[in-house]
Amino acid sequence: MMEKHGLKSVFPIEDIAVMGIWELLPHLNKFQVRLKQTCEAAISFDPHVIVTIDSKGFSFRLLKQLRGNSFTIFLEFK
């Protein structure tokens, strides 16, 4: 639905849609690559605000890497 309103995702969400440690382990490298891509995209876009939605593990790691930049960060988890 967000894509219908103009969102252009850095990567397909399916790339990080895994649950549990045993499912994550085979995809750990891809997860790290996607985290780096997202961090670089956020910094280059230079937003005023970052709002994370869902994917707590990914979001917290992203926010940790983005700490110290010049934008405000909001968290939302359902």
Q: What is the mean pLDDT of each run of 10 residues along the chain (78 residues)?
A: 85 81 82 93 86 81 83 63
Residues contacting residue 42 through CB under 8 Å, at least 6 positions apart: 50, 62, 66, 69
Domain-embedded: residue 56: yes
β-strand pairing of 72-76 with 49-53: parallel
Domain-embedded: residue 59: yes
Q: How far apart are CA 66 and CA 70, in angstroms?
A: 9
Domain-embedded: residue 3: no
According to DSSP H, which parts of the chain are helical?
Answer: 21-24, 28-45, 56-66
Domain-embedded: residue 24: yes
Domain-embedded: residue 44: yes
| Residue-range definition of the domain harbouring residue 66 | 18-76
Q: What total number of domains does the chain contain?
A: 1
Could you tell me if 61 and 35 are in contact, meaning their C-beta atoms sit under 8 angstroms apart? yes
Structure confidence at residue 35 (pLDDT): 93
Domain-embedded: residue 8: no
**0.85 exceeded by pTM:** no
